[in-house]
Amino acid sequence: MNSYIKLEVRNAFPELERLVRNKPLIYLDNAASTLKHNFVIDQITQHYKMDAANIHRGVHTLSEEGTIQYEETRDIVQKFINASKREEIIFTKGTTESINLVANSFGEKFFNEGDIILISTMEHHSNIVPWQMVAQKRNAHVIEIPITDQGEISIQGFEKLLDQYGDKIKMVSMAHISNSLGTINPIKYFISLTRQKAKQAKFLVDAAQSIAHLRTDVQDLDCDFLAFSAHKVYGPTGVGVLYGKYDILDQMPPYQGGGDMIDIVSFQGTTYNDLPHKFEAGTPHIAGVIAFKECFKFLDNVGLENIKTHEAFLCNYATEKLSKIPELKILGPTNLENKSAVISFTIENAHPQDIGTLLDQQGIAIRTGHHCTQPLMKRLGVTATARASFAIYNTTEEIDRLYDGLIKTCELL
Ligand SMILES: Cc1ncc(COP(=O)(O)O)c(C=O)c1O
């Protein structure tokens, strides 16, 4: 255990106690999904055991209690990301659905023939494909913002595109942190550049990888949309958030039709509910949203500054340690100031899948593959990497075991 992390933090994650292949689990796949906090698990169990009922529509006690708890999470998220109105927080299934919602609803109404959508080479597929799909329908074009060999967005390349396409640009959508490389993009600066040079453009921040690691203030960033998932913040799967500026969301048509999103339904025509319900058709993941609030309480309790310090410490420690393995090459920014706690690497003459399998035999969980970023892999000249990603509960002892595991892997391969 190192000084930045207290034992009670680790104790809050029961899965850390399990064995994998008869060895204590070392979980280093946090960029894919984090482990779940005890309070989240307790809240979900409590809901299904004692409180289960549908929300928003009932006058009975259980429905009213559930509605209050569900709506409380909205208030907590609003405060956590400093949105100016609670109606700007839409619950979705996750980042993917949040981006699809904007692409479909905003895109179908506001994209016209010849319009430009800018996304970077390092985006996750869920921040590429929805734009391609809507671009095809609206005869718009998705254009790639180039990156450098170190896996950082080329500022010059971005400025050039903004100058070239100017008012034709209707959307810029960009990850705050790359899931494959850990690159922290200077998102606030990119938003201000966009405001100066492409006045018609809206800016969506994919915060899937940043929300649990960096302070997020949507008013300070001045982004138009921001998307994230609960399962990367120590919370449940199947829950996510779309933040959108009220005036923009208000102009957007509903994304899905069904219960809860309507005002009056008739065969002559239907009118829609107000924000945020206009975008929350059908019965949501009630238990998940209720439990999600525990994640923000946890992050606030530990403190995002402490989390950042701890994870930066782990990233430095791991980078230094893994760099001692001659066959191993780390991809991504070399300046660790611009990097979150993700280490993507290759080992000479070893397929990443074999690395992952051999580490699993030692109880160590890492991710291997293209990480849903095939264009990025192509740009870096690889088909896949191995990726270790850290969270608040990881320790230097675990990195030592990763190092030992990799030495063993190199001997075997
Ligand atoms: C940067 C980024 N964007 C989007 C997603 C998609 O998130 P989800 O699968 O939770 O919708 C991920 C998931 O790994 C991600 O890392």
Q: How do the domains of the chain map onto residue ranges?
A: 7-30+303-412, 43-299
Which structure tokens are listed for 315? 């990233």
As a whole number of angstroms, the distance between CA 316 and CA 349 comes to 26
Residue 98 CA to ligand 1 centre (angstroms):
10
Catalytic residues: 372
Burial class (CB in 10 A: 0-12, 13-18, 19+), 382: middle
Rounded to whole angstroms, the Cα distance separating 140 from 403 reads 47
Can 7-30+303-412 and 43-299 be said to share one CATH topology? Answer: no
For 229, the 3-state DSSP assignment is strand
Do residues 177 and 213 touch, judged by C-beta distance below 8 A? yes
135 contacts: CB under 8 Å, gap ≥ 6:
107, 111, 117, 141, 142
CA distances from 254 to 101, 107, 130, 353 (A): 9, 12, 16, 42
* DSSP assignment letter at 350: B
Interatomic CA distance for residues 143 and 161, integer angstroms:
9
- For the Cβ of 208 lying below 6 angstroms from any atom of ligand 1, the answer is yes
Closest Cα partner for 242 from 202, 294, 272, 271? 202
Return d(Cα 329, Cα 327) in angstroms, integer: 7
- To the nearest 10 degrees (0 to 180), the angle between helices 61-81 and 286-302 is 40
pLDDT of residue 4: 57
Whether 95 lines ligand 1, by a CB cut-off of 6 Å, is yes
Which of 29, 34, 91, 95 best tests ligand 1's pocket when mutated (most atoms within 8 Å of CB)? 95
Q: What was the pLDDT predicted at 58?
A: 86
CA of 100 to the centre of ligand 1 (A): 12
Q: How far is residue 169 CA from its own chain's centroid?
A: 24
- Fold classification of 7-30+303-412 (topology level): Aspartate Aminotransferase, domain 1 (3.90.1150)
pLDDT for 79: 98
Q: Return the DSSP state at 290.
A: H
Cβ of residue 94 lying under 6 Å from some atom of ligand 1: yes
Q: Ligand 1, residue 123: give the atom nearest the CA.
A: 1
Please tell me if the CB atom of residue 127 comes closer than 6 angstroms to any atom of ligand 1.
yes
pLDDT in 10s for each residue of the chain, 413 residues: 555 567 889 999 999 999 999 999 999 999 999 999 999 999 999 999 999 999 998 899 999 999 999 999 999 999 999 999 999 999 999 999 999 999 999 999 999 999 999 999 999 999 999 999 999 999 999 999 999 999 999 999 999 999 999 999 999 999 999 999 999 999 999 999 999 999 999 999 999 999 999 999 999 999 999 999 999 999 999 999 999 999 999 999 999 999 999 999 999 999 999 999 999 999 999 999 999 999 999 999 999 999 999 999 999 999 999 999 999 999 999 999 999 999 999 999 999 999 999 999 999 999 999 999 999 999 999 999 999 999 999 999 999 999 999 999 999 98
**Is the pTM higher than 0.95?**
yes
List 370's β-bridge partners, or say none.
Answer: none
At 3 the pLDDT is 53
If DSSP states are collapsed to H, E and C, what string results for 34-57?
CCCCHHHHHHHHHHHHHHCCCCCC
Mutate to test the pocket of ligand 1, among 29, 124, 373, 387 (most ligand atoms within 8 A of CB): 124
CATH class of segment(s) 43-299:
alpha beta
Supply the residue whose CA is at minimum distance from atom 7 of ligand 1: 95
User: Ligand 1 pocket, 175 CB below 6 A?
Assistant: yes
**Ligand 1 close to Cβ of residue 96 (< 6 A):** yes
For 203, the 3-state DSSP assignment is: strand
